[in-house]
Amino acid sequence: MASIRVKALADLATGAMARVAVEEEDILLVHLEDGVYAVSDICSHARVSLSGGWLEGDAICCPKHGGKFDARTGCAIAFPAFTNLRKFPASVRDGQIYVEVDE
């Protein structure tokens, strides 16, 4: 796995989400009170970008049908979503957000 710098932490406010492209993969970064998390940006139900959605606490809400996913784990937590999102290891070092992806 490769650790790729994707964004400055200062550019992602707590409670915000942002889509980044890493190695041809669209990844959704989510900055919660307890850290930064990274999951697939594409809804497993509606196949749309989750970056156009919103957060309800720690739940990512799909903009198309309102399916919800746990931002920390990528697990589907509300219908119509039932397939989990892919989760990527994320870390913050020296004020920069890094995501690990397959090489």
What is the pLDDT confidence band of residue 41, given thresholds at 50, 70 and 90? very high
**Is the pTM value of this prediction over 0.75?**
yes
CATH topology of domain 2-101: Rieske Iron-sulfur Protein (2.102.10)
> Cα(83)–Cα(14) distance, rounded to whole angstroms?
26
Average pLDDT, the chain: 96
Which of left, alpha, beta for 73 (phi over 0: left; psi -120 to 50: alpha)?
Answer: alpha
Let me know the angle formed at the C-alpha of 67 by 59 and 39, rounded to the nearest 5 degrees.
55
Structure confidence by residue, pLDDT tens digits, 59-102? 999 999 999 999 999 999 999 999 999 999 999 999 999 999 98
Q: Tokens for 83, please give them.
A: 């397939």
Mean pLDDT over 41-67 rounds to 96
